[in-house]
Structure 1
């Protein structure tokens, strides 16, 4: 679907990490859904906003669309329902992860 990063590596050197251009309609729909996460109060919305703070909007949209694609695939293959934990749960887990990494570095 052209949502994952490229892996052009030669001689141990990364030559390109760009996503491939594609005309896949499912990828376009996932990108639109990812762009709509900007105002969402869900865990995916918090993830998208955190990515936007680190990188430009187009890359954040592609990364969030890739996360949505992986989520949809796992839901379809396992036959489970998606339950959103919410924005507060995601931000608390992110804060705990940052604190754990800082303790480990210290």
Structure 2
């Protein structure tokens, strides 16, 4: 039996109820520390908050963790409508911030 149910766009990952990895817990703690109404954090900001180096392995590891948390529904991601350097997604705990117009 697989723990991933493949539904059309996006797949639902039902591993949410299981234990989280240490890094997943750390990332959730960082995002929970944001004040309500905060726009969210970009991947690089999460890397910095965890005290990791912004090198390829550290960045990739945090990116994978954010993707897993997003699939499980613990984290939401969105793009800003404002022009910004580097583009990319903002991440936050669902229901705790605002999406800019």
Could you state the TM-score of these two structures normalised by the residue count of structure 2? 0.31
Could you state the TM-score of these two structures normalised by the residue count of structure 1? 0.30
Relative to its length, the structure with more strand (as a share) is: 2
Relative to its length, the structure with more helix (as a share) is: 1
Higher relative contact order (CA 8 A, sep 6+): 2
